[in-house]
Amino acid sequence: MSELTLFKAGNVAIPDYLREGDDFTKQMAGSSGGKAISIEGGVWRMLVGGEEVAKNEDRSMNFVVVNGNPKVSRVFYNTTYVKGQSAPPACYSEDGETPSANAQSPQSNKCATCKQNIAGSGQGDSRACRYFQRIAVVLEGDISGNVYRLQLPAKSIFGKPEGNKMPFQAYARFLAGHGAPMSGVVTEARFDTSEAVPVLKFSAVRPLSREEFMVAKEQGQSPDALDALEVKFADKKPAGASAGVAASAPALPESFNKGTPAYAEEEAPVAETQPVKRASKKAEPAAPTGAKSIDALMNEWGTDDE
């Protein structure tokens, strides 16, 4: 793959004094809609305002989860997804319990009793209404840089851990059980190659230095991070935005230097997402079987600040 960089001179980072951009550039690019990382097609894709500006085909990516929406949301599309086209969902729920007040066509008063939540309402035995959860992340090599939204489909959220590779909720329980804040560690997200569809599994890589942790905590409360967690869907492309315009694209971090430019739509319905049937709740151990304790991980990482 050819390298994709912002400047012809090569991999030159945007200086701190230029990172805010200006109103003129933002107006020329149209409303950005925020920055996001998509996993469509099993590829890491950097999106700005719904336009794909870079991609990376590595199997894993390291980042710091600086914030997350505690609610698992739901979304229902009544149209078939066509690549290159975007349409708002017919119905969605911010909290996974009741339809949003902004939903175009609410399907029920309660998500639990909705006809779109019945097995078989989607393809095969799946359900037409799908779970998702949004988190805000910064890349390991650019903790003070751009904050990205990462939307996790159901199979990346729920499920049982396999050693140190865990779905997101199991990973959060593992860290919480050992008193380690998620915003204080570098997290590896890796595509599960045993799955036919894009599914992420998570594991801890190293603890942040004290300085990195302070920056990560600030990033988690930034307007970009809070906006990344908000569940909202644009019903049409912003005025002035056009395919191929990437004027508002952020300086590309090292993780995306191998990417190639492409353009695609954000917020496409994820065909593979299927909600997990919730069985009767049982107490789960804080650390999954086969997972290393946080003390063991710390010993492997070392304790010197970087």
Q: What is the pLDDT along the chain (306 residues), one digit of tens a residue?
A: 233 344 444 455 556 666 555 555 544 444 445 799 999 999 999 998 888 889 999 999 999 999 999 999 999 998 776 565 567 889 999 999 999 998 999 999 999 999 998 888 878 778 899 999 999 999 998 999 999 999 999 999 999 988 888 999 999 999 998 889 999 999 999 999 988 899 999 999 999 999 999 999 999 999 999 999 998 775 544 444 443 334 345 555 655 555 433 333 333 344 344 444 444 444 444 444 455 555 555 455 454 444
Q: Can you say how many angstroms the Cα of residue 127 is from the centroid of all Cα atoms in its chain? A: 22
- Does residue 279 fall inside a structural domain? no
Whether 198 maps to a domain, the answer reads: yes
62 assigned to some structural domain:
yes
Q: Is 28 a member of any domain?
A: yes
Identity of the residue numbered 159: G
Range of the domain at 130: 20-271
Domain count of the fold of the chain: 1
Altogether, the residues listed in the chain come to a count of 306
Is residue 5 one of the residues assigned to a domain? no
Q: Would you say residue 15 lies in a domain?
A: no
Q: How far is CA 27 from CA 81, 246, 260, 263, in A?
A: 29, 12, 25, 20
Asked if the structure places residue 111 within a domain, the reply is yes
Is 106 inside any structural domain? Answer: yes
Helix (H) or strand (E) holding 36: strand 35-38
What is the Cβ-side half-sphere exposure of residue 288, based on CA atoms within 13 angstroms? 20
